[in-house]
């Protein structure tokens, strides 16, 4: 059974007339949208970074702030939307700027929980760069809390993962946290 057929069945089980004009092509569109929203499963770290690692004498923090992210929570299949801040301390290599955002997207475009997403991004940046430390903070709003359940419209979730120097050195960690405030 195709994804489109499953959407047809779901709409029918909700009590909808799947033949009415407004829904006639909805299963096809919904299937296409879900494949797009979950495209991260078809990507690999090697593919998204595409060898964009360059020699550098820089040993100071590299920070990419406010990377917007869109993901689906694995518990309700509802969106969570937010931004990621990703930093690393180079150890002879720097990553192409857009590749940091591509790493965020690759993991965000999978069914997720924010806690795991934060760790996956940090570990991937660490793996690719061999950095002395990596820090990731994500702030997101979860539709599963806003549209259903407790219906808290102004709630946001913050998660962080600190690796290497960001975990071990309070001054480095503090510098990062001050920069992302």
Any catalytic annotation for residue 6? no
85 carries an active-site annotation: no
Catalytic residue among 4, 6, 38, 76: 76
Name the residue among 47, 71, 86 with its Cα closest to residue 140.
71
Contact between residue 69 and residue 108 where contact means Cβ atoms under 8 Å apart: yes
Residue 38 falls in the annotated catalytic set: no
Catalytic residue among 114, 120, 126, 165: 114
- Active-site annotation holder among 73, 85, 126, 165: 73
Q: 140, 90 in Cβ contact below 8 A?
A: no
* Candidate list 4, 6, 144, 175, residue with the active-site label: 144
Is-catalytic flag, 142? yes
Tell me if residue 75 is catalytic. yes
Could you give phi then psi for residue 62, rounded to 5 degrees? -110, 125
Question: Phi-psi category of 163—alpha, beta or left, where left has phi over 0 and alpha has psi -120 to 50?
Answer: beta
> Does 74 qualify as catalytic in the annotation?
yes
The CA-based angle 104-121-48, given to 5 degrees, is 50
Task: Tokens 């959407």: give the residue.
Answer: 7
**Which one from 5, 35, 47, 75 is the annotated catalytic residue?**
75
| Catalytic-role residue among 47, 74, 115, 127 | 74
Report the DSSP pairing between strands 62-73 and 111-112.
parallel
| Residue 41 CB-density burial (10 A; 0-12 exposed, 13-18 middle, 19+ buried) | exposed
| 115 catalytic residue (yes or no) | no
> Which residues does the annotation mark as catalytic?
73-76, 114, 142, 144
């Amino acid at each position: 059974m195709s994804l489109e057929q499953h959407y047809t069945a779901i709409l029918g089980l909700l009590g909808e007339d799947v033949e009415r004009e407004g829904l006639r092509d909805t299963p096809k569109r919904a299937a296409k949208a879900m494949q797009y929203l979950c495209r991260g499963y078809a990507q690999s770290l090697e593919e998204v970074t595409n060898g964009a690692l360059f020699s550098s004498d820089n040993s100071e923090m590299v920070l990419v702030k406010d990377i917007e992210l869109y993901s689906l929570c694995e518990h309700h299949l509802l969106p969570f939307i937010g931004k990621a801040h990703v930093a690393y301390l180079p150890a002879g290599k720097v990553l192409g700027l857009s590749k940091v955002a591509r790493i965020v997207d690759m993991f965000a475009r999978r069914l997720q929980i924010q806690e795991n997403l934060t760790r996956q991004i940090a570990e991937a940046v660490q793996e690719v760069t061999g950095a002395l430390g990596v820090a990731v903070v994500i702030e997101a709003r979860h539709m599963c809390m806003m549209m259903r359940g407790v219906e808290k419209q102004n709630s946001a979730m913050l998660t962080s993962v600190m690796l290497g120097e960001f975990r071990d050195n309070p001054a480095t960690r503090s510098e990062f946290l001050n920069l992302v405030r």
